[in-house]
Amino acid sequence: MRIINENTNSSTIIKKFINKNDICGLTKYLKNNKNVIEKLITSKKQNILKSIFTTCKFNNNFILNLLLHYKNKTLTFSKLNYLLTKENKKITISCNLYGLAYRNHNSIALKILFESEIFTNKNDAIRKIIKYDLIKEAVKTRDVSFIRKILSYKNFNFKYLKYEEILYNVFKDSTSNDKIVELLIKSMLKNYSNSIYKNTILNIAIRAGNFDIFQYIIKNFKYTSKDINYYDIKKEYPIIVAMSNKKKDIFNYLLKKGANPNTKNNNGTSLLFLTIHLNKIDYIIPLVNDNTYGKIDVNAFDDNGYTPLIIAYINKYMNIFHYLIEYSNINRKDKYGHSILYYAINNGDGSLAKNLINIGAIIDNDIINIAIKKNKLSVILDNDKILLNSYKNDKNMPLLSELIISNCDNDDIEKIIKKGCNVNIKDKDGNTPLIYAVQSNRKYIAKLLIKYGAIKNIKNYNGKEAIDYSYISQDFNYFNQLLE
């Protein structure tokens, strides 16, 4: 009779049985010590656990016995079922063992348990796969044969709640020749082969940032430009996913393969605007260039009515701004009626304003108004594009009169006059620049106007001349003498 010291470690005892190939002794020991396997699972002694099952169940003796029955032609279906059931009973693999392994996050133990069972009923296997999340656990083991065995019972598909998490983790650390990648993708696309599902997998690869896997999917599933420009089950497009996840290499690759540069996200925001807000010119250059010019609308409005150029400037994305100037219509106005020149002047950026004018920015009433308001008239006065005599402000007042009452610098007003501004132009009330100069007590300007041809006795629609307003001036005598 074999006597075992109670203080001897169970692992040591099991190893002795296995080394001596004492299957009978090991089986009896396990029956008398029912918690041994549980302890091996919780302590994660995987090698010993595996050795127990390979020694006791479906071992060489079982195989030889099976072959003998087959040779003697006595292996009927019922006989086979009996032998398998008998073999399974040598060590009962209960749901408790599965549950223990699952709760202890012991994927290897789950693998050993599942591979040590013969399922005479496929539904039993499927139930365990679902209950203990064996698809996810199998992937954790990185064991191709185990994953294949699980998938032979139940497909990995888009209805599986954790499919994205599993694929992401696999794609993140795999290479294109990884059999696990191939197994999972083929299983998923078995019953779902259209572009929506293909792009769902592709977008997961993009998020994982694995260019190798991404390229593998593109090439092995024969992607066309039509496929690339289709959305996934979340209505997300590959090019948008690549951009939003800052996967530059993939972003560039997709554009070269025919991704639509005008693609919009679920909120209707175009790729160009989304890319601008990244503030990374490396994403703008492949999107807007000589090859894409004419294909992408670089002058479109965003939801707030701004153009890409204006958005870049307002947000101080200056590298992008200077790059986009080359491809943009600089006179394109936003929904508020302002061009980029308006924003440059409004921001006090005189140098930029002058440069914009030099490359064709139009100086219209809106530009003149903001230049007057921001005291930046000098920025635009050196240019002959300014419409001196056709300008009217919101009160229908001519430019020269507006400048006089706005306390504009004398030098700027003199520049306007010397450029050929009509010094006798009337506003809606018939008032001339000279009348406004007297009303505003601007002696130098009044004298300058007369020098350049202002007529002293022009009357407004109230029948008054400039001299009639001299009485309200602090320099009554000066104006009286000047206007006589």
pLDDT tens-place string over residues 389-420: 777 767 778 889 989 998 888 998 999 899 88
Q: Is the pLDDT of residue 445 over 60?
A: yes
pLDDT tens-place string over residues 102-128: 999 999 999 999 998 888 789 999 999
Please count the other Cβ atoms lying within 10 Å of the Cβ belonging to residue 95.
Answer: 12
State phi, psi for 296 to the nearest 5 degrees: -115, 135
Q: Tell me what the mean pLDDT of segment 468-476 comes to.
A: 80
Task: Give the list of residues 6+ apart from residue 16 with CB closer than 8 angstroms, or none.
Answer: 22
pLDDT tens-place string over residues 232-286: 999 999 999 999 999 999 999 999 999 999 999 999 999 999 999 999 999 999 9
Residue that wins the pLDDT comparison between 388 and 398: 398
**Gyration radius from the chain CA atoms:** 42
State phi, psi for 293 to the nearest 5 degrees: -60, 130
Residue that wins the pLDDT comparison between 20 and 184: 184
Q: Is the pLDDT of residue 433 over 80?
A: yes
- Sorting pLDDT into bands at 50, 70 and 90, what band is 179? very high
- Sorting pLDDT into bands at 50, 70 and 90, what band is 181? very high
Most confident of 19-28, 60-69, 319-328, 434-443: 319-328
Most confident of 17-26, 72-81, 291-300: 291-300
Q: Is the pLDDT of residue 217 over 60?
A: yes
Mean pLDDT across the chain: 86
Give the pLDDT of residue 74: 61
Give the pLDDT of residue 381: 84
| Cβ-defined contacts of 399-404 (< 8 Å, 24+) | 399/368, 400/425, 400/433, 401/425, 401/427, 401/431, 401/432, 401/433, 401/436, 402/372, 403/372, 403/377, 404/433, 404/436, 404/437, 404/440, 404/442, 404/445
Please count the other Cβ atoms lying within 10 Å of the Cβ belonging to residue 59.
Answer: 15
Please count the other Cβ atoms lying within 10 Å of the Cβ belonging to residue 264.
Answer: 15
- Of the candidates 248, 161, 175, the residue with the CA atom closest to the CA atom of residue 206: 248
Specify the amino acid at residue 111: K
- Sorting pLDDT into bands at 50, 70 and 90, what band is 88? low
| Cβ-defined contacts of 16-19 (< 8 Å, 24+) | 17/55, 18/51, 18/52, 18/55
Give the pLDDT of residue 51: 74
Give the pLDDT of residue 80: 47
State phi, psi for 405 to the nearest 5 degrees: -80, -15
Q: Is the pLDDT of residue 162 over 90?
A: yes
Q: Are 69 and 79 in contact (CB under 8 A)?
A: yes
Token code pair at residue 464 = 């008054």
- Sorting pLDDT into bands at 50, 70 and 90, what band is 22? low
- Sorting pLDDT into bands at 50, 70 and 90, what band is 77? low
Architecture of domain 391-484 in this structure: Alpha Horseshoe (1.25)
Please count the other Cβ atoms lying within 10 Å of the Cβ belonging to residue 24.
Answer: 10
Residue that wins the pLDDT comparison between 79 and 203: 203
Please give the Cα distance from 186 to 151 (Å, whole number): 10
Q: Is the pLDDT of residue 34 over 80?
A: no
Please give the Cα distance from 228 to 431 (Å, whole number): 66
- Sorting pLDDT into bands at 50, 70 and 90, what band is 307? very high
Give the pLDDT of residue 27: 64
**Could you state, in order of their start, the residue ranges of all structural domains in the chain?**
1-154, 391-484
Please give the Cα distance from 427 to 394 (Å, whole number): 12
Q: Tell me what the mean pLDDT of segment 374-378 comes to.
A: 88
Please give the Cα distance from 173 to 184 (Å, whole number): 14
